Amino acid sequence: MPKLDVLDFAWWEITGKCQLACDHCYASSGPDGTHGSLSVADWRRVITQTREAGARMGQFIGGEPTLHPALPQLVQHALSAGMEVEIYTNLVHVTPELWETFRLPGVHLATSYYSDRSDEHEAITKRPSLRATTKNIVRAQELGIPLRVGVIGVLDGQRTGQAIASLERLGVAEIGYDNLREVGRGVRENGPGVDQLCGNCGDRRVAISPTGEVWPCVFSRWLPVGNVRQTSLPGIVTGEKFAQIASELREEFGTRARPCRPDPCSPDCSPSCQPQNNCRPADNCLPNYNCGPCPPRDKNCKPVMNCDPNKCRPDKK
């Protein structure tokens, strides 16, 4: 049983290594990345402490979490601690052992998708990936593994509408959309800042990096609140620095909230706006589906079910 009730959700960023080299990667991960300085024993301790702090859901992310050799045992540890888990993977390469892990009760999958055309998809990921990702999306569907897919708008004129249509034809039920976040290699003009966040950072959720740094979320990497190599995770999230940063973020998010204009493709619709229900981007249109705040529907709702890690999606009706 949890010793505290201060967290609902945590991102466990277990590696900075990835087969892909996406230009927009918020974590700046890629083939030259590493698993960082946290040992498997460290991660087991962090997962245990995440549950002790009250969280019932955690997400393994990277980098590409399937490249960490201990992923199966870390998933098992989280499940044994009484948590559900989501694995955010590019689905480029899945071994038989990983498929067995993915099929465990309490495990969910998530992945990103960019285009229905391999040349455009590859222009974003910098590696041939569309065919493998699509094949493994189909395989996950066949195995009955809970799966959600986030379409990310990165390029001008990107075929995001066609990508969503393609996923719908594959039978994917949970499809979200998000624009580029200017963090890591995603920086274009504005750079990292509160305007790149969805409005929920530090609200009963945290992210832990491969080096042990703790942030209010995976996108707020310029706001470290502690390190699990020096302080326990419950100690960090109940500490003065976390409380100060969380308070400053709430204040900032509160000042920017405003109603959306009716047009979901309006450039005036900011990340804090509430999108129209059942909306989908038109071809070559990149509406912002981010909603803030993104509260659970009830106290038992898992944040990950309505939120693409820090990327909210409209609930289906």
- Mean pLDDT, to the nearest integer, of 241-262? 66
Q: Residue 141 class from Cβ within 10 Å (0-12 exposed, 13-18 middle, 19+ buried)? A: middle
- Block residue for tokens 């465990």: 104
Point out the least confidently predicted range of 109-118, 159-168, 289-298. 289-298
Residues in the chain: 317
Of the ranges 52-66, 179-193, 263-277, which is most confident? 52-66
DSSP-derived secondary structure for 142-179:
HTT--EEEEEEE-STT--HHHHHHHHHHTT--EEEEEE
Burial annotation 210-230 (CB, 10 A radius, 16+ → b, else e): bebbbbbbbbbbebbbbbbee
User: How confident is the model at residue 311, as a pLDDT?
Assistant: 38
Residue 262 has pLDDT above 90, yes or no: no
- DSSP label at 265? T
- CA 142 to chain CA centroid, nearest Å: 24
Percent of the chain's residues with pLDDT above 90: 52
d(CA 58, CA 285): 32
Residue 282 has pLDDT above 90, yes or no: no
Percent of the chain's residues with pLDDT above 70: 71
- Mean pLDDT, to the nearest integer, of 153-157? 83
Residue 288 has pLDDT above 50, yes or no: no
Band (pLDDT 50/70/90 cuts) for residue 227 is: very high
